[in-house]
Amino acid sequence: MNLLWLRRNLLALVVVSAVTRAPAQTAGTPAQDQPPSQAQPQNQNPDQAPAQNPNEETNNQVGNTAASSESRAPVPLPLNIDAGSLEFSQELERSNYLRGGVNVGANYDDNLLSVNAPRIGGYSYSVMPDIALDLSRPRAVMILDYSGGYVVNQRFSAYNSASHSAGADLLFRLSPHVNLRLTDRFSLTTGFYDQIGASPSGLGTGVIQQPNLTVITPFARHTNDVGTVELTYQYSAGDMIGMSGTFDYSSFGAPPTGSAQLVNGQSEEADGFYTHRFTPRNWSGVAYVFQRLSFTPATESVDTHSLYLFHTIYLERRMQLAFFAGPEYSELSTQIVSTVVTVPLVSVVAVPDSQDRLSVAGGASFSWLGERTSIRASGLRKVSDGGGLLTAVDFTSGNASIRRQLTRSSTVELGAVYGDSRALDQAASTFSEVKSASGSFVWVQQMGRSFSATLGYGRDYQQQTVVAASSVNVNHNRGWVTLGYQFSKALGR
């Protein structure tokens, strides 16, 4: 936890420095592929808009401007921090606002312990105030948000507790061709409440860097922190180099009696890339990715080295399609624990063991952010974490989401996720393989300028294969409803 404290304080120091040194302006966020003097004007009706994502305009506008020799090169979609966004195009252009409000919600899960039988369902109730600050300066963009409140659980009152979610997204233009971006997302939740508060702007990592989010875990306290640092340099009209680092920390509290044991994990990842424009709509490049995974209470760690070739096609404005593939070398380190009996003594001996393997990693990603419709989809295969039930795994996943504005006051979102996690070392995990599939539906109805209602339903299916035993099927039905009040105040006008 000292490491988390240090990272958050360093991030706060950078924020204060950027705000105090950057001159104020009333223009909106400058897109990366425009000089600051050409920044977009602010939108005059922000009341129903979420906070702006500062790099989304950058990385999706290139398909319309790549033919210009003065356009900014995009961060490759597989490594793009904003790859998970479902924001509409008009939501990306709003900045310099203070937003806040409160949400009162209730949710139901019919299988809190995530077991085959007996199934125990229960309700949770929450009150969650929130506040967000969105500031844009000629060479800096800052978005900060926080929501915190209290969650009451009907079935397991011992888990009644406060919940917190905080995020920071900072973008600095160090020079006309060099950009630095820092992001961090911290959450402390119980159960699946973090799914209810999910933002359309996404997790804050690229497709390649994202953790295993497909595994469905039992009801438990969960602490998660994902941070990214990204530096890019465009040294010619059609060439860019960049590097980034991603840190992911995931820790679970003890679940209720009868649930599966949960695994804590930590991941550090570093990557570097080069991308080149061959035609106005086609960019290709190469990326090297190093990742280190470690787990507790299991004594296992994995180092992976991956080399990806990628190609991105900018089909039209804010519509991208990318492919990536390459070799992946993994070094698995663990300990074999054995008991030695020498009468009258009994001793436990831990012998280090290692395994090396070579495999193929790759995937594809699609993103379209339209005026009233947004779609994202991706598929991925690589070595990853086990999502809370396993240690290191061979991970295959696919997901797709669509968000549609039906009327001026109503929005609907559909999502589907599939994951297959196979343990690299079956002796280190309770399960040898976990397959999961989930579908969700969310309806958001705006009621006037400040009030809204959200209705959601999710159906989950998970097959858990226990080592040397038969598979266990785990199903969930989840529903939630939220009533919210939000306000928005323009700044710097």
Contact indicator for 109, 122 with CB cutoff of 8 Å: yes
Please state the rounded mean pLDDT for residues 373-382.
94
| pLDDT of 30 strictly over 60 | no
Rounded mean pLDDT of the chain?
81
Contact indicator for 122, 95 with CB cutoff of 8 Å: no
Least confident of 282-286, 295-299, 338-342: 338-342
Please state the rounded mean pLDDT for residues 110-118.
85
The pLDDT value recorded for residue 192 is 59
Identity (one letter) of the amino acid at 28? Answer: G
State the pTM of this model. 0.79
The pLDDT value recorded for residue 157 is 87
| pLDDT of 206 strictly over 50 | yes
Please state the rounded mean pLDDT for residues 401-422.
94
Please state the rounded mean pLDDT for residues 125-136.
93
| pLDDT of 77 strictly over 70 | yes
The pLDDT value recorded for residue 338 is 53
Please state the rounded mean pLDDT for residues 73-86.
77
Whose CA is closest to 201, among 86, 299, 295? 86
The pLDDT value recorded for residue 477 is 93
Residue 219 pLDDT class (50, 70, 90 cuts): confident
Least confident of 113-117, 161-165, 208-212, 476-480: 113-117
Question: Which numeric CATH code is attached to 2-35+45-490?
Answer: 2.40.160
What distance, in Å, lies between the first and last C-alpha atoms of the chain?
41
The domain locations on the chain are 2-35+45-490
Identity (one letter) of the amino acid at 33? Answer: D
The pLDDT value recorded for residue 49 is 38
Rounded to an integer, what distance in angstroms lies between the CA atom of residue 395 and that of residue 418?
A: 11
| pLDDT of 274 strictly over 90 | yes
Please state the rounded mean pLDDT for residues 14-35.
39
The pLDDT value recorded for residue 185 is 92
Q: Counting Cβ atoms within 10 Å, is residue 270 exposed (0-12), middle (13-18) or buried (19+)?
A: middle
Q: What residues contact residue 142 under an 8 Å CB cut-off, 6+ apart?
A: 15, 18, 19, 133, 134, 135, 136, 168, 169, 170, 171
Please state the rounded mean pLDDT for residues 262-279.
94
The pLDDT value recorded for residue 37 is 34
The pLDDT value recorded for residue 150 is 92
Residue 311 pLDDT class (50, 70, 90 cuts): very high
pLDDT (tens digit per residue) in 150-169: 999 888 888 888 999 999 99
Give the whole-number percent of the chain exceeding pLDDT 90.
53
| pLDDT of 43 strictly over 70 | no
The pLDDT value recorded for residue 417 is 94
Q: What residues contact residue 371 under an 8 Å CB cut-off, 6+ apart?
A: 88, 89, 90
Contact indicator for 276, 241 with CB cutoff of 8 Å: no
| pLDDT of 196 strictly over 60 | no
